[in-house]
């Protein structure tokens, strides 16, 4: 068998080099040389190459759509037993599905997957005895089995847990190797029902000289694991690191190789954790799963609107309730504004959870079409609960909260603001309005202000008494 060799290829121009260099000699780009494997074909392999194909060979390689057969296994989804995770995955796991889970260090990636394992085993325990025992592989590349066991004990000691350590038994198997080739041999031999790799950056292959975590190693290791698990239909989770820029470490082609890319977000100082789907071949990419960080791990948030609403039972100045969509789920959140006299030549515009450009546009519209003297005031906007707002349907609530803080007048209780504000001061319609309104009524909000009730922002502020003449 011919010996495999490696070389370094520039990711910008494609030039190759026998050794690594910081700068490509052809296109002069920096840090673009990546190590790749070069298989030296032997004489027997070259003799098998044909310039033409027979009719029978062509018939085997082409498949018409009418000949495609879908098996029951390809249609069936397997629940992770965590509702929020199933929602983001599109309904559960599919046989041979490869999921890449990324996030900041310490955000809860390993915790989430550990809880998923225990929930799946608990669900299987309560199922009929006819089902065969599960075998789950957990590749412990960054932690020892003892450290992972401590995390499991923390979850098992929770008061709401009814699952014991003894019931896990032989179902959970820790794999301590960091060699991707050894891992492939174990997968082919024992064929687990679920595979978790923590993390893909800790694995390496001896066919490449680069250190584990390098671009070449990540791409080669991922390719070998994905080919193996798809051949045996094994659902797989790959935990990935992210860079200081907030993107998943490794080549971009790595994300194209997997079926689903999930990102776990949140501030370490806050309890809120959001699981977003950046890519999903088996479901929508606009769904979001919400969790709350607890002492034992992550708890699903069944009613997320209650987490973001703080002042529903009292009238306060500068706070308004808005309704936004995260995927197919309507969420109610509270936006807060603080408007104070500026001591600077150029007043400040600061947002927490709100884009700066949105604040500047709304300030200009309110000054132009509502006559509010915001050019002399600092404006601070925030979203309660640490949520980040991206859609335009919250414009109406943000504008009302700014006017309320400026005038010192309180906003009516049990009111939800749904609408986009145009540059001409008009209130525009928003998609999924009926779904948003239904969620607001379900939570007890009696009045919904939108395009249906007011045509422009000035008329709305006048009806709410936020344009009364007074000393600003």
If one compares 312 and 304, the residue with the highest pLDDT of the two is 304
Lowest-pLDDT range, 197-201, 247-251, 323-327, 467-471? Answer: 467-471
Among 1-10, 44-53, 413-422, 449-458, the minimum mean pLDDT is found in 44-53
Which fold would CATH assign to domain 77-302?
A: Rossmann fold (3.40.50)
| Predicted local distance difference test score (pLDDT) of residue 472 | 46
pLDDT of residue 127: 66
Options 3.40.50.2300, 3.10.20.30, 3.30.230.10, 2.60.40.790; CATH for 306-463 is 3.30.230.10
Q: How confident is the model at residue 460 (pLDDT cuts 50, 70, 90)?
A: very high
Q: What is the mean pLDDT of the chain?
A: 85
**Cβ of 226: how many Cβ atoms within 10 Å?**
18
| 19-28, 164-173, 242-251, 301-310: the lowest-pLDDT one | 301-310
Looking at residue 12, its pLDDT comes to: 67
For residue 53, what are the CA distances in angstroms to 43, 58, 371? 20, 6, 77
Separation between Cα atoms, residue 208 and residue 224, nearest integer Å? 13
Query: Is pLDDT of 249 > 60?
Result: yes
Summarize pLDDT for 182-219 with one digit per residue, the tens: 999 999 999 999 999 998 999 999 888 777 888 888 88
d(CA 308, CA 157): 29
Stretch 137-149: mean pLDDT? 91
Count CB-CB contacts under 10 A for residue 136.
18
**What pLDDT, in 10s, does the model give residues 63-95?**
888 877 765 545 678 889 899 999 999 889 999
Closest by CA to 374, choosing from 384, 364, 359, is 364
Q: What is the pLDDT of residue 471?
A: 46
Phi/psi at 41 (5° precision): -70, 140
Domain assignments of the chain as residue spans, ordered by start = 5-47, 77-302, 306-463
Pick 122 or 428 by higher pLDDT.
428
Q: What is the pLDDT of residues 408-428, one digit of tens each?
A: 998 887 899 999 999 999 999
């Amino acid at each position: 068998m011919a010996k495999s060799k490696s070389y370094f290829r520039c990711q910008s121009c494609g030039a190759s080099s026998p050794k690594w260099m910081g700068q490509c000699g052809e296109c002069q780009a920096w840090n673009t040389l990546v190590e790749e494997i070069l298989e030296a074909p032997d004489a027997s392999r070259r003799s098998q190459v044909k310039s033409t194909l027979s009719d029978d060979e062509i018939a085997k390689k082409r498949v018409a759509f009418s000949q495609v057969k879908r098996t029951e296994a390809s249609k069936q989804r397997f629940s992770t037993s965590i509702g929020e995770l199933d929602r983001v995955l599109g309904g559960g796991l599919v046989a041979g599905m490869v999921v890449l889970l990324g996030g900041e260090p310490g955000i809860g990636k390993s915790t989430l997957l550990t809880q998923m394992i225990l929930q799946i085993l608990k669900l299987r325990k309560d199922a009929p005895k006819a089902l065969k025992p599960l075998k789950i592989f957990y590749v412990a590349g960054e932690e020892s089995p003892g450290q992972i066991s401590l995390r499991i004990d923390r979850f098992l000691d929770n008061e709401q847990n009814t699952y014991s350590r003894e019931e896990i038994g032989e179902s959970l198997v820790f794999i301590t190797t960091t060699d991707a080739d050894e891992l492939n041999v174990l997968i082919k031999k024992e064929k687990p029902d679920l595979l978790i790799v923590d993390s893909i950056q800790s694995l390496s292959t001896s066919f490449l000289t680069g250190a584990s975590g390098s671009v070449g190693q990540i791409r080669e290791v991922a390719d070998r694991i994905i080919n193996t698990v798809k051949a045996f239909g094994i659902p797989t989770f790959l935990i990935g690191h992210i860079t200081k820029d907030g993107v998943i470490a490794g080549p971009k082609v790595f994300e194209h190789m997997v079926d689903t890319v999930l990102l776990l977000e949140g501030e370490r100082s806050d309890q809120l954790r959001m699981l977003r789907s950046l890519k999903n071949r088996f479901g929508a990419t606009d769904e979001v799963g919400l969790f709350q960080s607890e002492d034992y791990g992550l708890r699903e948030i069944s009613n997320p609107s209650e987490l973001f609403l703080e002042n529903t039972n009292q009238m306060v100045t500068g706070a308004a309730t808005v309704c936004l969509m995260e995927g197919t789920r309507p969420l109610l959140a509270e936006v807060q504004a603080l408007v104070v006299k500026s001591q600077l030549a150029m007043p400040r515009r600061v947002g927490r959870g709100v884009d700066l450009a949105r604040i500047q546009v709304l300030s200009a519209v309110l000054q132009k079409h509502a006559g509010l003297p915001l050019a002399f005031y600092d404006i601070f906007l925030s979203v309660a609960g640490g949520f980040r707002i991206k859609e335009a349907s919250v414009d109406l609530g943000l504008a009302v909260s700014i006017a309320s803080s400026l005038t010192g007048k309180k906003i009516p209780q049990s009111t939800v603001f749904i609408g986009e504000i145009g540059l001409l001061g008009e209130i525009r319609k928003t998609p999924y309005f009926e779904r948003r309104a239904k969620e607001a009524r379900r939570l007890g909000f009696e009045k919904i202000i939108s395009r249906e009730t007011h045509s422009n922002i000035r008329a709305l502020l006048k009806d709410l008494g936020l344009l009364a003449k007074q000393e600003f």
